[in-house]
Structure 1
């Protein structure tokens, strides 16, 4: 059973998500937060696997709540941002803070359930086109002042990750073993200080390893 916490200041949204998700046999909502400052205490109490996190909340927003979870907990739950607009700057900042991906509030139940299961299984919900759009909408000057010390192979794999390829797809593309890809991906995460694929790709754009309009 995948345990969920829903954090949104809109009661109707929380109720709707809880009602929809309760129809899925492997998903359960164990807690609800009306503001970001309620998230950490509820996570500590209920130990959800996933937090569905609104980015815009009045006292403590989803970005700071995500940062707080990662700073205070040794094993924080994975965060899926829920948002009205996919090009919202808040979404970009939440992904930089370590959220595994984002969902639009207008998404269908099947899409939400699939995203939750994907992230619970250890994958990141990476939408390459949306991430590129978020990056392209921001200032062109990189926010990080140096490239990470990646090897040529690690850089190649990071660029493939930015296109949305899974480890298995990357292995097939490069004609190398899946275990080798996993090793390289782990090294990329460690060198970038990234929590997941989405954050690694964001950092890659910020350092110029990957550019929004570049072809492979």
Structure 2
């Protein structure tokens, strides 16, 4: 069972999320909190696998609660940010705080269930539009070119246009300075192949796409990605993308 903690200051919102998630076999909502302080306390007591975290709450907000939980070595919960506000400062602050996913509350019930399942497996989740904004923010700064991902390819034509427009304007609209997600290291000890895999990950490519490009099995790519995360000292692919762009590793390719 995937154990979930719901954190939102609106009881009606929590009730809705509970109904959606509890209806899915394999998901158990083990607790609820109305603010960040209670979220930190319950996370330590209940040890949920995934925490669905709102941002704007009285007292300790979701971003601060996320920072505290990520910094606590005794907490292994992964955090999915759920917010009503589609704002770049929230997005990048959440990534910087160590969240493993970012989803708008306007998402469908199916999207919420999938997000919880993805994050519980140890992966990270960003919607295609959000991924485009991450790549645009760091890619423009680093002079890197973004590459279409499998996720972006699944959206319809109208959504693709929105994604492209978002990517094109993101760099100008984001004013939040980003701190490195891990101590900057000029050479984290990546092999040529690992550096190549990281460059694909930084462009939003899926494991399947990378495997096809490198003519290797998907399991081999997963092994490379795991080693990259370990060497960079980051929690997941989202943090790896941020690290890669901030430390000039996004465009390294095997000769």
**Normalized against structure 1, the TM-score is what?**
0.85
Does 2:174 correspond to 1:138? Answer: yes
Moved more, 172-181 or 137-146: 137-146
Q: 1:39-58 maps to which residues of 2 (within 5 A)?
A: 39-58=39-58
The range that moved more, 167-176 or 75-84, is: 167-176
| Offset at residue 95 of structure 1 (A) | 1.5
Q: Which deviates more from structure 2 when the two are superposed, residues 97-106 or residues 171-180?
A: 171-180
C-alpha displacement of 1:77: 0.8
Give the Cα separation in 1 of the matches to 2:106 and 2:12. Answer: 13
Question: If the length of structure 2 is used for normalisation, what is the TM-score?
Answer: 0.73
Quote how far apart the aligned CAs of 1:189 are.
1.2
- Structure 1: gaps spanning 5 or more residues: 212-216
Query: Residue 181 in 1 paired to residue 221 in 2?
Result: yes
Q: 1:49/1:152 Cα in 2 relative to 1: closer, same or farther (>3 Å)? A: same
Counting matched residue pairs gives 211
RMSD: 2.5
**Cα shift readout 1:38-79 (whole Å, capped 9, x = no counterpart):** 112211222211100112222112222122112223351111
Q: CA deviation at 1:23?
A: 2.0
Contact persistence 1:159–1:210 (CA under 8 A):
yes
Is 1:155 the counterpart of 2:195? The answer is yes
Q: Give the match for residue 234 of structure 2.
A: 194
1:12 maps to what in 2?
A: 12
Could you tell me whether the CA contact under 8 Å between 2:88 and 2:174 is conserved in 1?
no
Counterparts of 1:118 and 1:208, CA distance in 2: 28
Structure-2 separation of matches of 1:72 and 1:142? 21
